[in-house]
Structure formats: C-alpha cells, structure tokens
C-alpha cells in the first residue's frame, strides 16, 4: 500500500478553511440568540405590529423571544367600563407569541395613566379595592398560565422618591401597592410579578423605589422583579448610574429587567424630563434636526452607546432577566410623538424599513 503525503501548505489551508467555516456556523444570527444564555430579548408591539407585514413579522419572530403589548393591555383599552372588555388584540398577541414560541410579558395591571374612566372616578377605598380586584381577576385570569411575567404596578413613584398622588393612593393609601401584588399572585401564582418605572437611575427616585419595594416585601406580598425603563439618551444616564441602580435593585433579592429600552437621539425640550406621558412640547425645527436621515456621526454615537450599555448588561447577566426594546423599528417608536409630536427619531436597532442599523451590529460585536 502506497501512502500519499499531503503538502504541508495544503494541510494548513484546509485547517484554516474548516476553522473559518466552524466560526461562521457558530456566529449568532440574531440578538436573542447572542444572549440566549444570559437574558431574554423582548419587544413591545402595538396593533400595527401585531398585524405586521410579512417582513416585519419575520423580524419579530427571528430577533425576539418575549413580547409585550405596548398599549392594548392597559386598562383604558382592555377594560373601558365595568362590564366591558376588549380582548381582541391581546388575544392576537398571545396567539402570535404561541405561533413563534415566544413568551409574553403582561403590561400593565395598575397604572394611573391610560386608566379606565370608571376607575379614575372612584373616591371610596372599599370601592377601589373591589375595582382593582375585579380588574386583576378578569385580565390576569384570562391569560392565567400563559404569561411569563406581569407589570403589576407601573410608575407609582415620583422623581423625588415620594409616592405618586394617584387615585389609588388617594383612596387606599400606600396599602394599594401590596394589595395589588397579593391579588395578582392569587390569580397568577406562577408568573413573575414586577414593579416598573422610568428614571430609575436617579438617586432620590431609586431610594424611594427601594423603600416602597421593602414595604411590599414586609407585607408578605410576592414581588419578583423591578423593571427599569430604559428611555435614555445618548449622554445620560451615565453607565455608572445604570450599573449602581442594577446592583441596588438586585440587592433587594429580586430580578432586574431593562424595560422600554430606546435611546433618544434628538434634543430634549426645555422643562421636559422622564417619561411621564402627560408632558408635551411644541414642535420646532431645532428640536427635529434629522428629518432627512440620521447623520453618520450621530449613528456612530448611537451604536457606541448601545454597545456600551449591552456590555454592561452582559456584565450583570446574573442579575438581569430580560431586556425589552420599546418598539420594533424607528418608524414604530413612540419617541416620534413624545414629548414632541411629529418628530423623526431613530431610537431603536432597526430602521424604518426593518433593516439592521449600525447600533444592531455594534451590539452583535461586543466582547463576551
């Protein structure tokens, strides 16, 4: 038998080729795949995205593994009057998630804004408790066993750390907070139950949220997580502020979720801060500078910001359970209408044609 000896150079080329192919085969094809062992990657859908065009439907299925209803599960829309419910689009959302093998995060059971008018008119503590109980039983009960997690209470703390003077606080006092969590746990014992809020990196608000969560815990109510809304900007909050907040909330023994993530690239109107939706400002040209497209330097800055933030999330993957973007593409984003209506914003990872932006690629390239 005659042995053939392959030239050394040929063997080296063959080995390099196989290695390159293996590397390509192992490269994640989506952001949810990139972080599959770390945390969930979610998006918020409104009616148009729930009824998405085929290309966007494919993107939603490929890139995300948990869905949130942006608006249609808020009480004003899902429960407009005591005996009236609108489950059409929430049901469609759950059907879409089931089709795609995705989880659903419920948003939200108790919130002072976009509130059912009949609840907003209640002045008696007993009547309010009965209304909250009935709402939670009806909405959470309909989707029992289908929800991964719920925002039980949304935005109950002011920027100075005090409790918001909502109709719930005025009628029931601070007891409405543990009451809501206890009712949610009775109806849906297997879902993670969250408190969710914006501007969660400011020290005064952070201290107020921590105080409130400890009160809920001491009441014996089940609270599993804290949602930090990520309505952030190119230059604020700082990475240090974000990191300190993730650690502080995790130290309460709860999970942390980064919720409602988008990075605003437009100038902020004077006097507007946070994400309180009752705020608004007049449309002026200087507040809407990128109507013809995002300049390359701003696109680069956005990509850098997203990469740095996700590197931080990865560092604290032991604390973070979920990262949810607030919208699918730039055209869907609520930031086109808040706090100034009619602007052209670019806060997400996909452009108005569902194409991957530099920010997406920057996240995919972070060191792990």
Which residue numbers are catalytic? 260
Q: Are 144 and 104 in contact (CB under 8 A)?
A: no
Cα separation, 236 vs 218, in Å, equals 33
Other residues' Cβ atoms within 10 Å of the Cβ of residue 297 = 8
Residues 6+ apart with CB under 8 A from 170: none
Cα separation, 109 vs 66, in Å, equals 18
In a 3-state reduction of DSSP, which class is residue 225? strand
Q: Are 155 and 197 in contact (CB under 8 A)?
A: yes
Cα separation, 328 vs 62, in Å, equals 12
Which residue spans within the chain are E strands per DSSP? 40-45, 66-69, 103-111, 149-154, 192-197, 225-233, 255-264, 320-325
């Amino acid at each position: 038998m005659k042995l053939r000896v392959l030239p050394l150079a040929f063997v080296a080329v063959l080995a390099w080729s196989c290695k390159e192919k293996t590397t390509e085969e192992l490269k994640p094809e989506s952001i949810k795949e990139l972080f599959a062992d770390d945390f969930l990657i979610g998006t918020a859908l409104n009616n148009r995205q729930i009824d998405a065009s085929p290309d966007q439907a494919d993107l939603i299925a490929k890139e995300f593994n948990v869905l949130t209803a942006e608006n249609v599960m808020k009480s004003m829309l899902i429960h407009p009057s005591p005996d009236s419910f609108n489950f059409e689009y929430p049901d469609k959302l759950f059907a879409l998630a089931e089709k795609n093998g995705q989880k659903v995060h419920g948003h939200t059971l108790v919130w002072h804004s976009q509130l059912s008018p009949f609840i907003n008119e209640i002045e008696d503590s007993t009547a309010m408790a009965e209304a909250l109980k009935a709402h939670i039983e009806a909405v959470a009960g309909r989707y029992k066993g289908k929800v991964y997690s719920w925002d039980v209470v949304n935005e109950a703390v002011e920027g100075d750390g005090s409790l918001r003077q909502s109709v719930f606080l005025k009628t029931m006092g601070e007891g409405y907070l543990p009451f809501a969590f206890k009712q949610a746990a009775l109806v849906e014992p297997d879902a993670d139950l969250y408190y969710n809020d914006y501007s969660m990196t400011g020290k005064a608000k952070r201290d107020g949220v921590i105080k409130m969560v400890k009160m809920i815990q001491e009441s014996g109510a089940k609270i599993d997580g804290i949602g930090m809304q990520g309505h952030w900007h190119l230059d604020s909050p700082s990475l240090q502020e974000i990191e300190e907040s993730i650690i502080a909330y995790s130290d309460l023994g709860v999970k942390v979720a980064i919720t409602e993530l988008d990075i605003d690239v437009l100038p902020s109107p004077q006097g507007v801060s946070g994400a309180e939706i009752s705020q608004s400002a007049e449309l002026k040209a200087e507040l809407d500078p990128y109507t013809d497209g995002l300049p390359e330097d701003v696109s680069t800055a956005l990509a850098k910001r997203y990469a740095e933030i996700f590197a931080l999330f990865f560092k604290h993957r032991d604390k973070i359970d979920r990262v949810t973007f607030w919208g699918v593409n730039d055209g869907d984003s609520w930031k086109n209408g808040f706090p100034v209506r009619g602007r052209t914003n670019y806060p997400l990872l996909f452009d108005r044609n569902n194409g991957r932006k530099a920010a997406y690629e920057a996240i995919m390239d972070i060191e792990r």
